[in-house]
Amino acid sequence: MDTPVIDQAKLDAFVAHAIADLSAGYTGVMVSLGSKLGLYQALAGAGPLSAKEVARRAGCAERYVREWLNAQAAGGYIGYHAVSDTYELSPEQALVLADEDSPVHVPHAWNVPASMWADEPKALEAFRTGRGVAWGEHDARMACGVAAFYRNGYKASLVPQWLPALDGVVARLEQGIAVADVGCGHGHSTLLMAQAFPRSRFHGIDTHAESIAAARRHAEAAGLADRVGFERARATDYADRQYGLICFFDTLHDLGDPVAAARHAAQALAPGGTVMLVEPFANDRVEDNLSTVGQLYYAASSMICCAHAIADGGRLVLGAQAGPRRLAEVFRQAGFGHFREAAQTPFNRVFEVRR
């Protein structure tokens, strides 16, 4: 075999690209530390601060804090003023790093790759054997990280944008209907809808016992336990309450038999009811998903989504980048006649589905 000719410029460019990704992994650890230690909160809205002042405000050791600040400044996560030897968090950076209620707050999402590293031995075995890894088999940080990653995004979009994009659904919610949130996780999406529509009753469904327990705690804390219930059930056997709305929030592609789940939804829908399908943003062709968002979702799909679908029977393993065409086919096979895209964000596509 002939020795390949190496293009030095291409090699250098790819090495730089790989090192940038490696640096991002290191930075994720720093972001998680900064959030948990209150370092971003110490910087937010305070103007330029010395390392000593940041450490004092956060109750941390100055020498560690100075090194952390320099790492953050090198990565562009905070600003550094050389003349005064001070550090500053801009308003835009604060929205991403310090504001827990911001729709673009990201520190908690770093729990997901932390869990992926912790789960590497399971992933190695799964890749070699083809077996699945169920949601509950992952490191505990997985469920927490995913819930936190989606919570604020749903808060920004679900009630003000996505539900109004569905024909007639808001009016029915205001009048009062039964709603199912299939794959509800920690219940954030369920509770957002319950807070907005007090005449409707909401039922969160999930197979993961720890997530159901967390969802019930959140409902109690929000004072919504009288109108919101959470039950442990599968997407194919939850109670038929003739729902006016059935929601799948970033869930359908995780299921081992999405057609069966869609078929059960068809049976459990009240006449004129709607399925709201929210899925990770994806196009139909691989070449159209080769982006930063696609990189994120394909990686997560490799270790989380496909792994759970295989553990769940693996009849049809969609993955997190299924695309509209494959999703529409799932519901066509389940007997639905209406499937349209109602809204989209850089991270999600929202579909309206009816029989």
Render pLDDT for 59-113 as a digit per residue (tens, 0 to 9).
999 999 999 999 999 999 999 999 999 999 999 999 999 999 898 999 999 999 9
Render pLDDT for 329-349 as a digit per residue (tens, 0 to 9).
999 999 999 999 999 999 999
DSSP-derived 3-state class of residue 60: coil
Residues 181 and 73 in one domain: no
Pick the more confident residue, 352 or 136.
352
Residue 353 has pLDDT above 90, yes or no: yes
- Cα torsion at 254, 259, 263, 264 (round to 10°)? -30
Predicted confidence band at 187 (pLDDT cuts at 50, 70, 90)?
A: very high
Residue 1: what pLDDT? 66
Predicted confidence band at 185 (pLDDT cuts at 50, 70, 90)?
A: very high
Residue 311's φ and ψ, nearest 5 degrees, are: -65, -25
Contact 320, 301 (CB under 8 A): yes
In a domain, 2, yes or no: no
Mean pLDDT of all residues belonging to the chain: 96
Residues 328 and 347 in one domain: yes
Question: In terms of residue numbers, what domain contains 237?
Answer: 110-354
CATH of the domain at 264: 3.40.50.150
Residue 150: what pLDDT? 81
Render pLDDT for 127-148 as a digit per residue (tens, 0 to 9).
999 999 999 999 999 988 888 8
Residue 152 has pLDDT above 90, yes or no: no
Residue 111's φ and ψ, nearest 5 degrees, are: -65, -25
pTM above 0.85, yes or no: yes
Residues 90 and 116 in one domain: no
From CA 218, how far away is CA 213, in angstroms rounded? Answer: 9
Residues 95 and 144 in one domain: no
Residues 66 and 117 in one domain: no
Residue 1 DSSP class? -
Residue 58 has pLDDT above 80, yes or no: yes
Structural domain total, the chain: 2
CATH of the domain at 59: 1.10.10.10
